């Protein structure tokens, strides 16, 4: 393997990529155990801009680790690597630690940006996704890869990982029907005390101690995930609501939803149905809730009266994108 030092060219172009966050509609946690998940990219994006410089300036300690992962990825492919010093800037509208895929978008843009920086060429989304998955594993040890796949590809993703070498990543041609997406909100219960990695580990511990319970939950959530996909294809709002409600019940049985979050969702039943999306949290807050309103205006009025932060759910059908 050759490793050359590239002299900085004064007018060398900046490299900039953006990637969307995501919302898991159904299948969080179970996707780690070979079951399917249906995930949608959202319009909240994270942008990375890399500028060649005389000396690399790291704004945090994670980036040198990410850099080493990308270089190792290239070495495995016997690629000619150019050593380029750089500075970088990150801007993001994706809330951190709330289950909306901030680390996945972060992994996606750094994979794309550094692959291009160190080789001088753009890479396919398939290869970027593979590299981003390795970065995401640093953040969330036993992650499934669904978050980065959604961030890289965009739109609706049906994802299933049987083994590390066998993954089904289906980019669905359908979109969330407008009558559904217009009724969806993302309600913020607050940042969980636990990280996604800790929540994955918690479910793993339950799997070891009560395997029968978890195996049944895996089967039940898989059925719910498939029903939710059918609800989107048939534009069946009632089935969609039922699937959301069932998914939440199973997540609570799995122990990834806090008592306060569970109580809040129950109090909101007069206004619609909701579920935790993402890793969750059980000590205090559980991150964002995906909520489908019976009447959005009434639901928003209730949330405003109680000073509960929320935002509209807006799907994004654009994945990783080069900005410059």
Tens of pLDDT along 168-209? Answer: 889 999 999 999 999 999 999 999 999 888 898 899 888 888
Q: State residue 12's pLDDT score.
A: 58
Asked if residues 31 and 144 have their Cβ atoms less than 8 Å apart, the reply is yes
Statement: residue 101 has pLDDT above 50? yes
Q: Which CATH number among 3.30.43.10, 3.30.230.10, 3.30.390.30, 1.10.10.10 corresponds to the domain 3-175+316-322?
A: 3.30.230.10
DSSP, res 100: S
More confidently predicted of 276 and 200:
276
Q: What pLDDT band is residue 96 in, cutting at 50, 70 and 90?
A: confident
- ∠ CA(136), CA(137), CA(138), 5° rounding? 90
Q: Report pLDDT digits (tens) over 121-136.
A: 999 999 999 999 999 9
Looking at CATH, the fold of the domain delimited by 178-312 is given as Alpha-Beta Plaits (3.30.70)
If we measure between CA atoms, which residue out of 111, 2, 106 comes closest to residue 47?
106
Average pLDDT over the chain, rounded to an integer: 91
| In the block, residue with structure tokens 């398939």 | 126
DSSP β-bridge partners for residue 90: 48
Residue 180 to residue 177: CA distance in whole angstroms: 5
Residue 269 confidence class, pLDDT cut points 50, 70, 90? very high
Q: What is the pLDDT of residue 162?
A: 80
The reply to whether 178-312 shares the fold of 3-175+316-322 is no
Domain boundaries, the chain: 3-175+316-322, 178-312
Give Cα separations from 207 to 161, 177, 215, 218, 320 (angstroms): 18, 36, 8, 10, 34
- Does residue 2 carry a pLDDT above 50? no
44-89 pLDDT, tens per residue?
A: 999 999 999 999 989 889 999 999 999 999 999 999 999 899 999 9
**Of 93 and 161, which is predicted with more confidence?**
93
């Amino acid at each position: 393997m050759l490793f050359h030092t590239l002299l900085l060219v004064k007018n060398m172009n900046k490299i900039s990529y953006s990637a969307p966050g995501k919302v898991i509609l159904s299948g969080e946690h179970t996707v780690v155990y070979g079951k399917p998940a249906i995930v949608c990219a959202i319009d909240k994006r994270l942008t990375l801009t890399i500028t060649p410089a005389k000396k690399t300036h790291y704004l945090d300690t994670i980036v040198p680790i990410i850099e080493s992962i990308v270089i190792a990825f290239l070495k495995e492919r016997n690629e000619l690597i150019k050593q380029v010093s750089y500075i970088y800037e990150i801007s993001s509208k994706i809330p951190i630690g709330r289950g909306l895929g901030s680390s996945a978008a972060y992994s996606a843009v750094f994979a794309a940006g550094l692959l291009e920086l160190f080789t001088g060429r753009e890479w396919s989304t398939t290869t970027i996704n593979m590299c981003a998955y390795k970065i995401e594993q640093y953040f969330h040890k036993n992650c499934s890869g669904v978050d980065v796949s959604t961030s890289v590809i965009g739109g609706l993703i049906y994802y299933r990982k049987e083994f590390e070498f066998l993954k089904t990543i289906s980019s669905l041609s359908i979109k969330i029907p407008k009558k559904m997406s217009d009724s969806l909100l993302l309600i913020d219960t607050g940042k969980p005390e636990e990280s996604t990695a800790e929540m994955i580990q918690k479910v793993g511990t339950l799997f070891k101690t009560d395997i029968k319970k978890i195996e049944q939950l895996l089967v039940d959530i898989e059925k719910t995930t498939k029903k939710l996909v059918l609800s989107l294809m048939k534009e069946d709002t009632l089935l969609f609501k039922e699937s959301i409600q069932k998914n939440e019940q199973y997540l609570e049985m799995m122990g990834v939803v806090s008592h306060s979050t569970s109580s809040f969702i129950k109090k909101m039943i007069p206004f619609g149905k909701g579920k935790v999306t993402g890793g969750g949290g059980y000590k205090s807050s559980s991150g964002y809730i995906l909520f489908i309103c019976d009447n959005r205006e009434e639901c928003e009025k209730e949330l405003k009266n109680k000073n509960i932060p929320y935002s509209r759910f807006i799907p994004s059908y654009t994945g990783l994108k080069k900005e410059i």
